[in-house]
Amino acid sequence: MFGLFYKLMNSNSRDNSEYNLAMKNLFHGDIMERASAARQIGHLKEGRATNLLVRALNSEKDSIVINRIIEAMGEIKDAKATMIIVDLLKKELEKNENEQDKSLLFLIVESLMKIGDKRALEHLGILSRSCESDLKTLTEEAIECIDPNWKKNLAENG
């Protein structure tokens, strides 16, 4: 019994030290360390990381790191990240279509799909009407994944 408890405690402290190091690197590392730290935080799937990821996202200037932070938020699947990601989507959609970062849009849609928060549906609907075929297909898949009854719900509310 004590052996199992020790293993669990040891595992938790190792996870905590990984988490703490990743957080330190997210805020204080060079570009590649920050990007790697964001990816690692996503793999740890720690809900407690969401607020710090949001803070990092708000201060981050490098697009590679921003992309990894968005991916991490999707991996963590915390609905608290939904509207932050939606705000990024709105900013990107304000740009002319030829100036939009398509890889960022793909990451946003994938993360919102993983999170599965229905608050994203309205914004994904706007994106599905304004984008190219690959992105449109992924966006429609995300809408279907978040709310399989979206067509029925639209008909009832429309």
Which residue, among 113, 112, 114, 105, has the nearest Cα to 134 in the 3D structure? 105
Please, which residues have CB within 8 angstroms of residue 52's CB and are 6 or more apart in sequence?
23, 26
Long-range residue pairs from 44-50, CB within 8 A, at least 24 positions apart, any chain: 44/15, 44/18, 44/19, 45/75, 45/76, 45/77, 46/19, 46/76, 47/76, 47/78, 49/19, 49/23, 49/76, 50/76, 50/78, 50/80, 50/81
The letter for the amino acid at 58 is N
How is the chain split into domains, by residue range? 1-76, 83-158
Superfamily of domain 1-76: Leucine-rich Repeat Variant (1.25.10.10)
**What CATH number matches the domain at 83-158, 1.10.150, 3.40.1710, 1.25.10, 1.20.120?**
1.25.10
Give the helix ranges, DSSP H, for the chain. Answer: 2-28, 31-44, 50-59, 63-76, 82-94, 102-115, 121-128, 133-146, 150-157
**pLDDT of the chain along its 158 residues, tens only?**
445 444 444 445 666 889 999 999 999 999 999 999 999 999 999 999 999 999 999 999 999 999 999 999 999 999 999 999 999 999 999 998 889 999 999 999 999 999 999 999 999 988 888 767 788 899 999 999 999 887 676 666 65
pLDDT of residue 29: 95
- What gap in Å lies between CA 29 and CA 31, rounded to an integer? 7
